[in-house]
Amino acid sequence: MSPMTSIAKGANMPLAATSVTAVLGWTSGPGVPDVDASALLLTATGKVRSDADFVFYNQPSHASGAVRHTGKSAPASGAATDSLSIEVPRLEPAVEKVVLAASADGGTFGRVPGLHLRLLDAATGTELVRFDISDASTETAFVFGELYLRGGAWKFRAVGQGYATGLAGLATDFGISVDDAPAPAPQAPAPPARTSLTPPAAPAAPAAPAAPQVSLKKQQLVNLEKKLEARGDRKLLDLTKKAAVSLEKRGLGEHTARVAICLDISGSMYSLYRSGKIQQLAERVLALGMRFDDNAEIDCFVFGENADGAGSMGIDNYGAYVREILQSHKLEAATYYGKAMAEIRRYYFGSDAPRSSPLTDVPVYVMFITDGATFDEEVTRQHVMSSSYEPLFWMFMAIGSNSRDFAFLEGLDDMRGRFLDNADFFPVADPATISDDQLFELMMTEYPNWLQQARSKGLVRG
């Protein structure tokens, strides 16, 4: 792979090496705060398992050996660095994200010039990506980027989120327990050594109101809207704001879940695809999914006579996504729901086998769109039954006016014997005639109640 020069805030890319060095760089000089790099190893909940998952200057190596703080370089011509080493194969299975962060000692990041993060191939030293930070101001802690697992592959994303509450605020947001700073001894002639997560004591100053701490999820949503506004994408921005209204009413404004759209590509769907109605529908599902998914993307699956994963849909590719699906997947002559459900269960949980005991993981919301009946009703029932033990919610949407074709789907919504009710169903004669607000309301009718039950039964992490 040829070296990449830079990446924009919010953008992501596949990780091209299994062992990488994250090098935080800045220009040192008089009055410039010192910078300390750190890393947090997160599970799918977005939190650490314990304080041991925080790698920083006082805890320079993770117990697994996968992440190490390799230290600072001596400034040369004003150039300073602090580095972290990440060996992806050594990350424990529970770890799905490594956050690359830093704190500023003696001032704010707005006073640190030339701030940037470089990701290098540890084996060759080749620069894989560079992310320059130009909008830092009053922050004393910063999340620069993250390595994250998606669909079995590791990626890098440029984050660029600051905290005015320092290292302690950043750590707390990710689940680290931070002790209060001890009172300094009156006779102490020198400042204490840094032996905890508490930042060094600053000279006495008039008390100022504490800066409000903004959660990482909330900041991600703010950044998402800013990105859409900067791109001039009013259509998607308006859709995401409408979705937000529906979610806020249900207490899901900062909820995190994996979101998928599953599209019927049987031949009878031809006119819906040709008219652009499926593209428009997919855009609305994306708008809601972007509020849930921390990657602002939705996973896509297609099914007919067979089933297949179709990558992901996000800000950068949504405009032509459905057209590209049809270029790579021809419309098929039959419809098998069960094959699609098996593909989805394998993708998220590693197996499509029958299940009769609970599985704990991040919740998955699947928008399942079809226009007709299936040829494998019993197989479909078995997947609905087994997946009721998984944190998986099926939102079935039927398109058309023949209610007899949808009696089976309605039956899935009311199916007995499940661990918990994990499906909902609604029909529409024409997706173009239903408003955005109506669609978002229908998509969220039963999901909040399922989520509450799934948490109480131990299916959902966190």
Q: What is the pLDDT of residue 272?
A: 95
Q: What is the pLDDT of residue 85?
A: 96
Q: Across 96-191, where does the E strand assignment appear?
A: 97-105, 116-121, 127-132, 141-150, 153-163
Q: What is the pLDDT of residue 1?
A: 38
Q: What is the pLDDT of residue 288?
A: 94
Q: What is the pLDDT of residue 77?
A: 65
Dihedral angle at the C-alpha atoms of 450, 452, 457, 460, nearest 10 degrees?
90
What is the C-alpha to C-alpha distance for residues 400 and 388, in angstroms, rounded to an integer? 27
Residues 71 and 116 sit within 8 Å (Cβ to Cβ):
no
Helix axes 337-349, 377-387, angle to 10 degrees: 30
pLDDT in single tens digits along all 462 residues of the chain: 344 568 888 788 899 999 999 999 999 888 888 888 999 999 988 889 988 899 988 788 999 999 999 888 765 567 889 999 999 999 999 999 999 999 888 788 989 999 999 999 999 999 999 999 988 888 888 899 999 998 889 999 898 888 777 677 777 778 886 544 333 434 444 444 444 454 444 444 454 444 444 456 776 777 788 888 888 999 999 999 999 998 988 989 888 899 999 999 999 999 999 999 999 999 999 999 999 886 788 999 999 999 999 999 999 899 999 999 889 999 999 999 999 999 999 999 999 999 999 999 889 999 999 998 999 999 999 999 999 999 999 999 999 976 677 889 989 988 999 999 999 999 999 999 999 999 999 999 999 999 999 999 999 975
What is the C-alpha to C-alpha distance for residues 19 and 216, in angstroms, rounded to an integer? 26
Q: What is the pLDDT of residue 76?
A: 55
Phi, psi dihedral angles at 360 (to 5 degrees): -100, 130
Structure tokens at 22: 């994250």
Q: What is the pLDDT of residue 234?
A: 92
Q: pTM of this prediction?
A: 0.61
Residue ranges and CATH numbers for the domains of the chain are 5-174 (2.60.60.30), 216-457 (3.40.50.410)
Collapsed DSSP state (helix, strand, coil) of residue 225: helix
Residues 216 and 161 sit within 8 Å (Cβ to Cβ):
yes
Which residue do the tokens 């039927």 mark? 398
